[in-house]
Structure formats: structure tokens, C-alpha cells
């Protein structure tokens, strides 16, 4: 690339493709999946419906929904050798590294892993949606010295995950809170992990490789890894009375406050609006509003000092904490929700593909002659 061309660092503002899945208006704080507002979907839909919506473009009718549920149920179990692998992992294995490794391993037992036809990719997409939840739950049980819990066919995707995680059927209210969290995290246009997946698919590599790339990308604290960091911050603050001072100190030290700011949203992330309510309601139900109160003070302080709004990772942290979920599982949970958006994006990429290969401006040394090693200083 010739010098003096405009460089868009981080591809900020660069439109790399079209997508018919998700629309974001960052100034209005608007988010829609296939034309349905995220607030309406959170209130009235289920994760299974949203999976169908993202993959097929319409909300499912009752027959389609039943068929999707049956296919997810039929694909929830994971291979014995993967469970063996999870049991071999060191106890302090990073949860996202474990998920990344497990998804790679799932490819090895999928007879269609190298079949890039749309029909095979659609089958693999649902296998990944079904199995990633089982992987995360099994990983958590195994690292705590417990046997994995087999999935139950009679439970929804959200309820079954909590059942496999805790070994008991969750209360309907808790299952519904988790179902809404899955809906809120399902897709989000050209975020970094989706872009990573699309780049991988654009070489016509397989869907498992693309999802593995996405998991590795989501892991970072500037992206999906922020939710775990938010809870670590809330735990460090501990008391609502400490929150204002803690934030003032952090900002004075030029620290980034995890869960705030966004490349696209310049007002409140509409997902944070829903998650703030879930965090408050769970806290009130459990008579444990401390985390919500700390969050509210942090939110007010960051807005006042930096003009930044909470993103999806801020209130999801206290919501998951109040659900009794271990903090380092928050990002794997983000992944097991976002798999729906990743695979829907991958189907789009494969259907209308062009190798993704941007330019770069060279700023290294000018052309120069080679010097043999015995003539170098
Ligand atoms: C997700 O893309 C998606 O859609 C992602 C996601 C999805 O659903 O897939 O929405 C999920 O990843 C949400 C974001 C989670 N990450 C965090 O919460 C980490 C903290 N946030 C930031 O690091 C930051 O806001 C980003 C990475 C999210 C966005 O960064 P940008 O667009 O590159 O903005 P920037 O880093 O250039 O910041 C602009 C200014 C800077 O100030 P100056 O240096 O110009 O003075 O805002 C400041 C930043 O310092 N700033 C922050 C801040 N975020 C931005 N200051 C303190 N705390 C923060 N969190």
C-alpha cells in the first residue's frame, strides 16, 4: 500500500459487509435482530426462538419451534473422549481456553466437520448451539471434582444449562432470567469475535475453525472478557459507600472501567437497560441489593466523569453473580449465547463470500542489500 492513504485503526467506521441479521443504531441506542427490537425479544421471546430467527430470518411457527427444540435436545450430549479431555485439564485452566479447546475437539468427532455445504453447515450450527452449553457446564462440574450432569430432554436450553451446571432443576424465574440473558447476547452485528469468525470463513475454512477463532477473540477483556472483570471490580469495591472513591481513583490512574464504553453505542446500550432491571429484581428478590447499588453508583460516577454508558457486560456481571454463577464462567456464557449469532453470520459469509484481506501501509526500512552474518557488527 502506498504511504499517505487514510488508515482506519481498528477498522473504526469501516463498513466491511452487509448483514441481514442485526441492526444497531449507536446514537439512538437501538438494537434489532431481523427487525425485532431487542426489548421486545427479551420480554416476549425465548432463546430457541431467537436461534431460529437468526438462522432462518423469521420467528418460528409452532411446528418449526418444536423441530428446532427437538434437534437441539438430540444434540446436547458431548463425546466421551471430550469429557476425558476436560478431566485432564489442569484445575486452574482458563475457562475460555477450555471452551476454545473443547470446540476444536468437537470438530474431531463431527463426521461433517470438513463439509462446507450449506446443509451440513446448518446441521453443525445447531450442534454447536446445543453442545457449547453442555461443554461449559461439564467443565465447571469437572473442575469442582463433580461428575458432569447429563442433559435433560424436557428442559429448555436455558433451564437445561442451569440444571447441568448445578445438578438441580432451576426455578422457573431463574431459568427465565438466564433465557433473557441468552437472548440479549445472541448477536451484535460486526463485533470483533464475529468479524474474526467471518475472516476465518472467508478463506473457506470450516465452521469449527471459525467458531474457535471467535472464542479466542471474545476472550479478550476489551470484548467478552469484560463481564468477568466487572464482577472482580464490584467485589473489590465491596460496599456502595466505597464506589464513588474507587472510581475516582481508578479514573485518576487512567484505568479503563470495565463494562463501560462501546465502539458503536454513544448512548445506553439497550441490553444494559434490560440487564440493569434483571440485576435489580434479582437483588431485591434475594435481599442482596449491594451489587446493584454499587453498580448504580459506579454507573453514575463514570457517566459524570467520562460521559460513558454501561454496555452489555456491566449489569450482566451482577446478574450472573446473583444467579450463583462463578465469575470466570461469565465469558463462556457470553460465548454459548453468541454462538447463535456467530453461526448465522457464518452462513451469510459462506453464502456470499469474498476473501477478507485488507491493506496495510508499510513503514519499515527502505530497500537495502543483504549482509552475510560474518560481515555484521
Ligand atoms: C462488548 O463490538 C461489540 O458489539 C461488542 C459487544 C458485543 O455484543 O459483541 O457489544 C460486547 O465487547 C462490549 C464492550 C466490552 N468491553 C469493555 O467494557 C472494556 C472497557 N471498554 C473499553 O475498553 C472501550 O470502551 C471499548 C473497547 C469497548 C471501545 O473502545 P473504542 O471504541 O476503541 O474507544 P477508545 O478506546 O478509543 O476510547 C475512546 C475514549 C478514550 O479516551 P481518550 O484516550 O481519547 O481520552 O474513551 C475512553 C478512552 O480512554 N474510554 C474509557 C473507557 N472506554 C473508552 N475510559 C475509561 N473506561 C472505559 N471503559
pLDDT tens, residue by residue, 250-282:
999 999 999 999 999 999 999 999 999 999 999
**By the 8 A CB rule, do 156 and 177 touch?**
no
Distance from C-alpha of 359 to C-alpha of 349, rounded to nearest angstrom: 20
E strands, the chain, where?
22-25, 30-33, 36-37
- Domains of the chain, by residue range, sit at 66-221+336-351, 226-322
Task: Give residue 123 CA to ligand 1 midpoint distance, Å.
Answer: 35
Q: Are 129 and 185 in contact (CB under 8 A)?
A: no
- Among 30, 37, 34, 35, which Cα is nearest to 51's? 34
DSSP string, 44-62: H--HHHHHHHHHHSS---H
Asked if the model's pLDDT at residue 216 lies above 90, the reply is: yes
Q: So what CATH class is 226-322?
A: mainly alpha
Instruction: Report the chain's C-alpha Rg in angstroms.
Output: 22
In contact, 58 and 297? CB cutoff 8 Å: no
The SS3 of residue 141 is: helix
Q: Alpha-carbon dihedral of residues 239, 241, 247, 253, nearest 10 degrees? A: -90
pLDDT at 163: 98
Residue 3 has pLDDT above 80, yes or no: no
| Residue 2 banded pLDDT, cuts 50, 70, 90 | low
Q: Please state the atom number of ligand 1 nearest to the C-alpha of residue 194.
A: 9
CATH architecture of the domain 66-221+336-351 equals Orthogonal Bundle (1.10)
Active site residue: 223, 239, 241, 352, which one?
A: 223
pLDDT tens digits, 82-98: 999 999 999 999 999 99
Centre of ligand 1 from the C-alpha of residue 52, in Å: 31
Measure 260 CA to ligand 1 centroid, in angstroms: 6
Residue 219 has pLDDT above 70, yes or no: yes
* Separation of alpha carbons 271 and 38, rounded Å: 7
Selection from 327, 324, 275, 65 nearest residue 170 by Cα: 324
Using a 6 Å CB cutoff, which residues line ligand 1?
10, 188, 191, 222-224, 226, 256-264, 306, 308, 311-313
Taking only the tens place, the pLDDT of each residue in 337-356 is 999 999 999 999 999 999 99
The yes-or-no verdict on residue 1 having pLDDT over 70 is no
| Average pLDDT rounded to a whole number, residues 173-195 | 98
* Furthest-apart CA atoms within the chain: distance in Å: 77
Domains 66-221+336-351 and 226-322 belong to one CATH topology: no
Q: Whose CA is nearest to atom 23 of ligand 1?
A: 222
Ligand 1 centroid to 255 CA: how many Å? Answer: 12
Segment 192-209 mean pLDDT:
98
Task: Tell me the pLDDT tens digit for each residue of 14-31.
Answer: 999 999 999 999 999 999
Summary mean pLDDT of the chain: 97
Provide the β-strand partners of residue 23: 32
67: its cell numbers: 423441530
Query: What phi and psi, each to the nearest 5 degrees, are found at residue 36?
Result: -95, 130
Would you tell me how many other CB atoms lie within 10 Å of the CB of residue 233? 23
CB atoms within 10 A of CB 89: 16
Q: How many CB atoms lie within 10 A of CB 122?
A: 16
**Probe residue for ligand 1, chosen from 261, 269, 334 as the CB with the greatest number of ligand atoms within 8 Å:** 261
Predicted model pTM: 0.97
Could you give the percent of the chain with pLDDT greater than 90? Answer: 98
pLDDT value of position 5: 82
Cα 161 from Cα 169, distance rounded (Å): 9
Range in 5-9, 137-141, 171-175, 286-290 the model is least confident about:
5-9
352 is catalytic: no
Q: Which atom of ligand 1 is nearest to the CA of 188?
A: 8
Among the listed residues 313, 328, 352, 359, the single catalytic one is: 313
Residue 287 pLDDT greater than 60, yes or no: yes
Amino acid at each position: 500500500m502506498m504511504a499517505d492513504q487514510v488508515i482506519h485503526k481498528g477498522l473504526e467506521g469501516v463498513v466491511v459487509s452487509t448483514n441481514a441479521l442485526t441492526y444497531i443504531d449507536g446514537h439512538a441506542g437501538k438494537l434489532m435482530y431481523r427487525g425485532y427490537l431487542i426489548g421486545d425479544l427479551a420480554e416476549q421471546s425465548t432463546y430457541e426462538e431467537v436461534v431460529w430467527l437468526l438462522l432462518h430470518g423469521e420467528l418460528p411457527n409452532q411446528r418449526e419451534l418444536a423441530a428446532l427444540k427437538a434437534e437441539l435436545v438430540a444434540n446436547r450430549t458431548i463425546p466421551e473422549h471430550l469429557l476425558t479431555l476436560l478431566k485432564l485439564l489442569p484445575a486452574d485452566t482458563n475457562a475460555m481456553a477450555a471452551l476454545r479447546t473443547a470446540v476444536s475437539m468437537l470438530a474431531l468427532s463431527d463426521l461433517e466437520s470438513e463439509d462446507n455445504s450449506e446443509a451440513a453447515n446448518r446441521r453443525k450450527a445447531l450442534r454447536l448451539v446445543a453442545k457449547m452449553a453442555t461443554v461449559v457446564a461439564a467443565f465447571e462440574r469437572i473442575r469442582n471434582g463433580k461428575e458432569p450432569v447429563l442433559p435433560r430432554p424436557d428442559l429448555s436450553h436455558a433451564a437445561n444449562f442451569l440444571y447441568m451446571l448445578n445438578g438441580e432443576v432451576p426455578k422457573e424465574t431463574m431459568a427465565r432470567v438466564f433465557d433473557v440473558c441468552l437472548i440479549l447476547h445472541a448477536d451484535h452485528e460486526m463485533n470483533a469475535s464475529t468479524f474474526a469468525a467471518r475472516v476465518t470463513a472467508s478463506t473457506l475454512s470450516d465452521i469449527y475453525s471459525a467458531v474457535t477463532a471467535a472464542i479466542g477473540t471474545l476472550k479478550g477483556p476489551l470484548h467478552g472478557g469484560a463481564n468477568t472483570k466487572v464482577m472482580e471490580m464490584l467485589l473489590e469495591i465491596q460496599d456502595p459507600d466505597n464506589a464513588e472513591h474507587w472510581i475516582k481513583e481508578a479514573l485518576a490512574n487512567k484505568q479503563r472501567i470495565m463494562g463501560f464504553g462501546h465502539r458503536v453505542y454513544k448512548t445506553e446500550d439497550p441490553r444494559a437497560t434490560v440487564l440493569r432491571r434483571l440485576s435489580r429484581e434479582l437483588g431485591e428478590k434475594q435481599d442482596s441489593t449491594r451489587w446493584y447499588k454499587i453498580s448504580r453508583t459506579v454507573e453514575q460516577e463514570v457517566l459524570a466523569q467520562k460521559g460513558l454508558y454501561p454496555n452489555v457486560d456491566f449489569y450482566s456481571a451482577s446478574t450472573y453473580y446473583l444467579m450463583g454463577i462463578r465469575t470466570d464462567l461469565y465469558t463462556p456464557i457470553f460465548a454459548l449465547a453468541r454462538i447463535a449469532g456467530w453461526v448465522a453470520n457464518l452462513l451469510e459469509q459462506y453464502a456470499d463470500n469474498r476473501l477478507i484481506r485488507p491493506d496495510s501501509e508499510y513503514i519499515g526500512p527502505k530497500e537495502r542489500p543483504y549482509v552475510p552474518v560474518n560481515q555484521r557488527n
